[in-house]
Amino acid sequence: MIGEPPVPLPSVCAGLFFRGVLPAFEDYLKFDQGAQKILGSMEGEVWFTNRDGLSACLRFENGKAFWSEVPEGKPKAHLDLGSEANTVRFIRGGVAIPRLKGGFLRPVFLSKLLRLFLRFQKYLKPPAKALQDPEFRTLHVRLALAVALFSLAEIGREDAWARKMLESCPNGTINFRVEGEDLTASIEKAPGGLYPRRGADACLEADAEVIFASSKVAMEILTQKSDSHAAVALGGIRVEGLVPLADGINHVLDRVARYLPS
């Protein structure tokens, strides 16, 4: 086993915005009524790029958001995050202003996009008071889990330490769910990599399951405020099925928080 790098790799961290964070916008628009109200009848595509060739697109259509790596049509706006360092600052909440390269003549579209992102950020990095609301906390966990699993797939491809860890992990599908709540996501470990799913696409018959006792426990684990091994010992997490698969995935999942600190 190779040693874990002392700090996250900037190139991997930059990629997480495009292929880890932005895909969670689909769940955000699906479950948050406030975001749906902001979006209204607005439709169109937003193209995100950076100077290193990373790219992703969000398409808004029929009140929903759809993520893809490239635009399907002509985007209404194009936001360029600039250098790799600037992209990392942006994803970590530092001072990093994207450059608008298209969309100057669509002020209403841009205004709604900004409001959507500010609200989205509030769910991903919420104030402590907001987490006292059970509905807010559930959506926070839903989005945090989506970001974590999509980021896990990206880290599994691009991070040498994670790839080495996954070599010894058996293939199979693992479900993550919260006890007593309609909150499920899964990730499949296959020879070609890691493939996340959530909601109706989550696998119901998995090889292993990680079951959180409550949304509060899930939140604390996903944001690294609690230790997963201690939570297992205390009954906050229950692991069923193929334990080596669950252990291997959870070990790499811990690395996500080093790239995306809450």
Burial code (b: 16+ CB inside 10 Å, e: under 16) for 57-79 equals bbbbeeeebbbeeebeeebbbbb
Residue ranges per domain, the chain?
10-124, 134-259
Whether the Cβ atoms of residue 186 and residue 200 lie closer than 8 Å to each other: no
Instruction: Indicate the average pLDDT of the chain.
Output: 87
Do the first three CATH levels of 10-124 and 134-259 match, i.e. the same topology?
A: yes
Q: Which fold has domain 10-124?
A: Nonspecific Lipid-transfer Protein; Chain A (3.30.1050)
Q: What is the pLDDT of residues 183-222, one digit of tens each?
A: 888 999 998 889 998 765 665 678 999 999 988 888 888 7
C-alpha span between 144 and 97 (Å, rounded): 24
Which pLDDT score, from 0 to 100, does residue 68 have?
A: 95
Beta bridge partners of 172: 189
Whether the Cβ atoms of residue 19 and residue 154 lie closer than 8 Å to each other: yes
Superfamily grouping for domain 134-259? SCP2 sterol-binding domain (3.30.1050.10)
Q: What is the pLDDT of residues 47-105, one digit of tens each?
A: 999 999 999 999 999 999 999 998 888 899 999 999 999 998 888 777 678 899 887 77
Q: What is the pLDDT of residues 151-190, one digit of tens each?
A: 999 999 998 888 888 888 999 999 998 888 888 889 999 9
